[in-house]
């Protein structure tokens, strides 16, 4: 699966957005205390103002040497993207590292991966490589002058992995830099920890921060003493169940018999949509995402997409809410949403150009739902009021059966990171401080803004103290 939403065209995410933050009006999202029957969040805007990144190096497993450019550059600053099933290198990156595309019978091997426009072709690396990652923070952000971490900081090695190689240079590369993506293969079997707190500090010009990103092996202990540099797996307040779906059956490779890219399943809030597509029943599927508009509501399975700046629902989901595109406008440069019953234009619309790693793009219209809700394992409902979503069909087709599957929706980082209006005139703080994606335990963890992780042993001690007090009182009453 290819990355669904690229940064807004024409904007340098680091310099332009950070400069905008300083001058923007800020309306913080609010939420009641933890473990209430429901948590209501307002203030989410259409575009995420930050997205998680990760530092990576690529090693030749046969020689053990790290790939470098002629100038000695070796650390790749990449997006960390749960919406991408593979590892994708930009044209300038793989050429700079002298990675060769695989060939078969004199032809370049082409791997057709799932993307916004259906499928996007990629070359495949001629051999497998080991990928190692290191934490990302504003201090290691090379696009704003940060120093990349030393090679000793890299671990969590996966591979050998066959890489997807973007065929053509991106037309936006001169503005946004190379778009390299570390997808699910680097997070498969791991726990990803996102410290969103620094990104919420965007209003402080002297201490601007970015989302700090870590990848840990399961069982890595929480380290409260190094919370800002090496937190370990943080214990979260709320957990949302996930399913993992593989889209491998919707990909193809040519020539026939060639080896494609290394692939891993993607996380969904709700049931595995591919299982349902194949006529299989998933036992104990987690609750899906519920969307509501006026007096209508619908529940679906949404891709949890850290690589998406914005979020969307399908046209079928929108139809259940009484919303559709004005005839002839879907897929055009001027899409318009209307009420299905009256044909009147839905108010407060916005449009966002969406792009994929392979260059495919579409302009979609969006509107504000009355609400979007997630059900936690604690029984608490997290409800985003006035939730912005675009209406977009991402449809994948099985090349063998020719049957198609359309995703219900995509939950992007605008619901978890600071978010902005399309024109960047307003930026709102995120409702969360921490976010974890635990692939082995199939759950999304969240901690509200203003809260810090509480060590589980300490929490257990408090419970034991409380139990002791209760028992003492009962003993005194008996006496």
When pLDDT is averaged across residues 332-342 and rounded to a whole number, the result is: 95
> DSSP code of 167?
S
Local structure of 434: helix, strand or coil: strand
| Predicted pLDDT of residue 36 | 52
| Alpha-carbon distances of 159 from 84, 90, 267, 362, rounded to whole Å | 17, 19, 21, 33
| Predicted pLDDT of residue 355 | 64
Give the tokens for residue 25: 């009006």
pLDDT-based confidence at residue 452 (cuts at 50, 70, 90): confident
Q: For 20, what's the count of Cα atoms within 13 Å in the CB-facing half-sphere?
A: 20
**270's torsion region: left (phi>0), alpha (psi -120 to 50) or beta?**
left
How far apart, in whole angstroms, are the C-alpha atoms of residue 423 and residue 26?
14
Q: Do the domain assignments include residue 285?
A: yes
Local structure of 203: helix, strand or coil: coil
pTM: 0.86
Q: Do the domain assignments include residue 325?
A: yes
> DSSP code of 288?
-
Give the tokens for residue 466: 């409380």
Q: Do the domain assignments include residue 135?
A: no
Local structure of 452: helix, strand or coil: coil
Q: Dihedral through CA 429, CA 6, CA 39, CA 31, nearest 10?
A: 0
Q: Do the domain assignments include residue 151?
A: no
For a pLDDT cut of 70, what percent of the chain falls above it? 82
| Predicted pLDDT of residue 465 | 33
| Bond into 171 cis (ω within 30) | no
Q: Dihedral through CA 310, CA 315, CA 316, CA 317, nearest 10?
A: 30
Q: What would the pLDDT profile of 268-317 be if each residue is shown by its tens digit?
A: 999 999 999 999 999 999 999 999 999 999 999 999 999 999 999 999 99
* Element of type H or E holding 354: strand 350-355
Residues 304, 435 contacting (CB under 8 angstroms): no
| Predicted pLDDT of residue 117 | 61
How far apart, in whole angstroms, are the C-alpha atoms of residue 461 and residue 458?
5
Q: Do the domain assignments include residue 150?
A: no
| Predicted pLDDT of residue 25 | 32
| Predicted pLDDT of residue 96 | 92
Alpha helices (H) in 193-339, listed in sequence order: 273-277, 315-320
Our CA angle for 384, 390, 391, nearest 5°, is 120
How far apart, in whole angstroms, are the C-alpha atoms of residue 204 and residue 250?
45
| Predicted pLDDT of residue 406 | 95
Neighbouring CB atoms inside 10 A of 146's CB total 16
> What is the domain extent for residue 319?
26-49+266-429
Q: Do the domain assignments include residue 375?
A: yes
The pLDDT of residue 435 is above 90 = yes
**Segment among 34-48, 84-98, 215-229, 418-432 with least mean pLDDT:** 34-48
pLDDT-based confidence at residue 178 (cuts at 50, 70, 90): low
Look at 380 and 11; give whichever has higher pLDDT: 380
Place of tokens 């916005």: 350
pLDDT-based confidence at residue 150 (cuts at 50, 70, 90): very high
Give the tokens for residue 99: 């990675």
As a whole number, the mean pLDDT across the chain is 85
Domain count, the chain: 1
Q: Do the domain assignments include residue 103?
A: no
| Predicted pLDDT of residue 1 | 64
Give the tokens for residue 264: 């891993």
The pLDDT of residue 124 is above 60 = yes
How far apart, in whole angstroms, are the C-alpha atoms of residue 190 and residue 264?
12
Q: Do the domain assignments include residue 372?
A: yes
> DSSP code of 295?
T
How far apart, in whole angstroms, are the C-alpha atoms of residue 60 and residue 97?
11
Q: What would the pLDDT profile of 345-362 be if each residue is shown by its tens digit?
A: 999 999 988 765 545 578
The pLDDT of residue 207 is above 70 = no
Give the tokens for residue 391: 């209406």
Residues 407, 427 contacting (CB under 8 angstroms): no
Q: Which residues lie closer than 8 Å to 294 by C-beta, 6 or more apart?
A: 321, 322, 370
| Predicted pLDDT of residue 120 | 87
| Predicted pLDDT of residue 129 | 96
Q: What would the pLDDT profile of 12-40 be if each residue is shown by its tens digit?
A: 233 333 333 333 333 333 334 445 588 99
Q: What would the pLDDT profile of 389-401 be if each residue is shown by its tens digit?
A: 999 999 999 999 9
**Segment among 240-249, 272-281, 321-330, 456-465 with least mean pLDDT:** 456-465
**Segment among 7-21, 162-176, 418-432 with least mean pLDDT:** 7-21
How far apart, in whole angstroms, are the C-alpha atoms of residue 298 and residue 300?
7
């Amino acid at each position: 699966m290819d990355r669904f939403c690229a940064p807004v065209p024409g904007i340098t995410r680091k310099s332009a957005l950070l400069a905008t933050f300083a001058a923007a009006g800020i309306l913080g999202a609010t939420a009641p205390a933890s473990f209430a029957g429901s948590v209501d969040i307002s203030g989410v805007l259409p575009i995420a103002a930050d997205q998680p990144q990760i530092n990576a190096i690529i090693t030749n497993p046969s020689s053990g040497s790290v790939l470098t450019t002629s100038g000695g550059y070796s650390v790749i600053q990449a997006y960390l993207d749960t919406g991408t099933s593979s590892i994708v290198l930009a044209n300038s990156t793989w050429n700079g590292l002298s990675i060769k595309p695989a060939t078969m019978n004199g032809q370049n091997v082409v791997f057709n991966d799932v993307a916004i426009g259906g499928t996007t072709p990629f070359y495949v690396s001629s051999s497998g490589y080991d990928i190692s990652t290191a934490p990302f923070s504003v201090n290691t952000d090379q696009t704003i002058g940060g120093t990349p971490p030393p090679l000793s900081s890299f671990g969590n090695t996966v591979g050998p992995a066959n890489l997807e190689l973007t065929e053509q240079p991106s037309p936006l590369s001169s503005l946004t830099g190379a778009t390299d993506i570390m997808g699910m293969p680097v997070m498969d079997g791991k726990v990803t920890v996102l410290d969103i707190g620094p990104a919420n500090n965007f209003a402080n010009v002297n201490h601007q921060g970015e989302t700090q990103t870590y990848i840990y092996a399961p069982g890595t202990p929480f380290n409260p003493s190094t919370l800002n540099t090496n937190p370990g797996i943080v214990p979260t307040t709320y957990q949302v169940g996930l399913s993992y779906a593989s889209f491998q059956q919707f990909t193809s490779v040519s020539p026939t018999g060639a080896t494609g890219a290394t692939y891993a399943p993607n996380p969904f809030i709700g049931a595995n949509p591919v299982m349902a597509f194949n006529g299989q029943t998933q036992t104990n599927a987690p609750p899906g995402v519920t969307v509501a508009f006026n007096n209508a509501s619908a529940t679906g399975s949404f891709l949890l997409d850290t690589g998406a700046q914005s979020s969307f629902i399908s046209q079928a989901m929108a139809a259940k809410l009484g919303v559709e595109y004005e005839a002839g406008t879907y897929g055009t440069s001027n899409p318009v949403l209307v009420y299905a019953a009256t044909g009147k234009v839905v108010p407060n619309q916005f449009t966002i150009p969406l792009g994929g790693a392979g260059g495919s793009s579409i302009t979609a219209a969006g509107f504000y739902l009355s609400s979007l809700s997630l059900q936690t394992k604690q029984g608490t409902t997290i409800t985003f009021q006035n939730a912005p979503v675009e209406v977009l069909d991402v449809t994948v087709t099985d090349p063998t059966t020719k049957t198609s599957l359309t995703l219900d929706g995509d939950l992007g980082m605008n619901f978890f990171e600071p978010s902005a209006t399309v024109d960047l005139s307003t930026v709102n703080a995120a409702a969360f401080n921490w976010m974890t994606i635990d692939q082995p335990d199939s759950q999304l963890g969240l901690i509200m803004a203003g809260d810090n992780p509480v060590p589980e042993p300490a929490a257990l001690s408090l419970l034991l103290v409380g139990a002791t007090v209760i028992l003492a009182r009962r003993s005194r009453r008996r006496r």
